[in-house]
Amino acid sequence: MWRRARGYLIALAVLLTAAVTLAALSSGAHHGRLDPRSPDREGSRAIAELLRARGVTARVVTTADEAAEAAGPGTTLLVTDPDLLGDHQRRTIRSAIDVSGGRTVLLTPGATALAHLAPTVHTAGKAHERTLTPDCALTAATTAGSADTGRGRRYSTTAPGAAACYPSGGHPTLLVLPAGTTGGGDTVVLGSERVLLNEDLAREGNASLALQLLGTRPDVVWYMPSPAELGEGDVEEKSFLELIPAGWHWALLQLFIAAALAAFWRARRLGPLVTERLPVAIRASEAAEGRARLYRKTAARDRAAGVLRAATRERLAALVGVPSAHAHDPAALVPAVAARLADPAGRDLTALLFGTAPAGDAALVVLADHLDALEREVRTS
pLDDT tens-digit readout, 28-83: 544 678 889 988 888 999 999 999 999 999 999 989 999 999 999 999 999 998 98
Strands 187-190 and 103-107: parallel
CB atoms within 10 A of CB 190: 27
pLDDT tops 80 at residue 2? no
pLDDT tops 80 at residue 117? yes
pLDDT tops 50 at residue 213? yes
Q: Residue 20 and residue 268: Cα distance in Å, rounded?
A: 35
Q: Residue 250 and residue 266: Cα distance in Å, rounded?
A: 24
Using one digit for the tens of pLDDT, what is the confidence trace for 154-203? 999 998 889 999 999 999 999 999 886 445 688 999 999 999 999 999 99
Nearest partner of 45 among 57, 34, 60, judged by Cα: 34
Q: Do 120 and 109 touch, CB atoms closer than 8 A?
A: no
Q: Which of 7-21, 25-39, 242-256, 321-335 has the highest mean pLDDT?
A: 321-335
Q: Do 229 and 62 touch, CB atoms closer than 8 A?
A: yes
Contacting residues for 7 by C-beta, under 8 A, at least 6 apart: none
pLDDT of residue 173: 94
Answering whether pTM is above 0.75, one says no
Distances from the Cα of 127 to the Cαs of 78, 149, 159, 188, in angstroms? 22, 9, 21, 18
Q: For residue 232, name the pLDDT band (cuts at 50, 70, 90).
A: very low
pLDDT of residue 22: 66
Instruction: Give me the mean pLDDT over the 250-261 stretch.
Output: 85
Q: Output the average pLDDT for the chain.
A: 85
User: What whole-number percentage of the chain has pLDDT above 90?
Assistant: 41
